[in-house]
Each structure stands twice: as structure tokens, then as C-alpha cells.
Amino acid sequence: MSTRVNGIGMTSQRTRMRMIERLREQGIKDEAVLAAMFEVPRHLFVDEALASRAYDDVSLPINFNQTISQPYIVARMTEVLRAGDHPLNRVLEIGTGCGYQAAVLAQVAKEVYTVERIRLLYERAKKLLSDLKMRNVGVRYADGSAGFPEAAPFDGIVMTAAAPVLSAVLREQLAVGGRMVLPVGIQEQWLYLVERDARGFRETKLEPVKFVPLLTGKT
């Protein structure tokens, strides 16, 4: 573990710095997000055989037909979440996958809850996040399509799998001043921002994206 954590060659500090420079070129401006992306050792979240590509701007397979999102999209969703005036005390992620987005969120939020429906991914992410001493992340094995009402309200919600329509159930779990970022659509997917204020909800369509589908039930 420790040799992988330190990282030499392809996973060196310089490789990570190149990723940060690329994120800047792609339009990511929030310094706290760039610092979080630099901090989290992305190569530990992918299979060892793929570690040399971990800092490239690509999504990579993490088994069970799932993928780790490309760095740009992780940074972008985190930046959109942080762009409000409201502090991110409690954040929910639906779709833990390998746990990478949760680890990035953990750098910018006080508490992160993340939910995964595939048991083996849940177990692996839970162990890795605990090995990395990310004590402010709670990993849960559940179908997250209806959110996590027991821990609501959230200052931020991120969904990393695409639902065919914007869920009304999820936005009810936002605190006033809270923000939700999620992909919506089947063939053609768009990233949406949902903001809640004292008067209600506001939706903004952001940019085209490509995520795996949100599924129901546990496996």
C-alpha cells in the first residue's frame, strides 16, 4: 500500500500537476477544487493495471460495467456544487463506484454520505476510503435512487449515474440554499444544477455528459 500511496513514475506529483494544469485549461477555476483534485491519489482508485492512465482525462472501467468518471467531470461537478454561498456541511453522493468522487468531495465538505447499490464496489470503496483515513465519509450499501432521507437535508447532492428524468424526491432532500448536480437523460444526457431557495427550486441545464444509468435495487 505505502509504495503505491507515495507513487513514483506515472503516479508522481508531476503527473498529478499535469492533470491540474489540464483542468485549468478545461475551465476549472475554483482553487479549492483544484487543490482537492491534486490531493486525492486517483491511481489508487483504479485497478493497478490501469494506474498509469489514472491521471489522463478519461473515464476508466472499475468492474461490474461501471466506470470512474474522468477528472474533468469530477472537478466540474464539485465546482458547481461549491459555487453557491451556502457552506457544504453535509453532502450526499449517489453512486459511490470506486469512491473517487466521494474522496474529492471529502476535501471540500465537512461530511459526505455516499451510497452504492453494488455490494463489491461498496466494500472496496469503504475499505479504500478508510485506508486513506477519510474519516468524514460515510459509505452506505443501498439503492440511492430515492436519496437518503434519514440523513437529509443536504447542502449538496451529487448523482454520478443518469436518471431518465429529474427526480422530485431528491430535491426535497436539499436544504434551503442547497445545490444538486446530476446527469439526466438516457441516450442524450445533460448535466443539471438544481438550486433550492426559500421560494422553491431553480433548474439550470449545464452541458452534455455521459454517465452509466441509474439502476434500482441492490446487487
Given the rule CB under 6 A, which residues bind ligand SAH?
66-69, 94-95, 97-98, 100-101, 115-118, 121, 143-145, 160-161, 212, 214-216
Give Cα 136 to chain centroid, integer Å: 15
- For 169, residues 6+ apart whose C-beta sits below 8 A from its C-beta are 146, 147
Rounded Cα gap, residues 78 and 132, in angstroms: 20
Grid coordinates representing 41 are 491519489
User: Which residue in the list 59, 69, 145, 167 is annotated as catalytic?
Assistant: 69
Q: How far apart are CA 209 and CA 132, in angstroms?
A: 29
The DSSP H or E segment spanning 75 is helix 71-82
CB 199 to ligand SAH: min, Å: 30
Select 145 or 173, whichever has its Cβ closest to ligand SAH.
Answer: 145
Residue closer to ligand SAH by CB (options 202, 218) is: 218
Rounded least distance, CB 119 to ligand SAH, Å: 10
Min. distance of Cβ 163 from ligand SAH in angstroms? 9
d(CA 105, CA 135): 12
Residue placing its CB nearer to ligand SAH in the complex, 97 or 185: 97
Respond yes or no: is residue 130 known to be catalytic: no
CB of 85 to ligand SAH, least distance (A): 26
| Contact by Cβ (8 Å): 122, 96 | yes
* Gap between the Cα atoms of 190 and 186, Å rounded: 9
Tell me whether residue 2 or residue 216 sits nearer to ligand SAH (CB atom): 216
What is the set of active-site residues?
Answer: 69
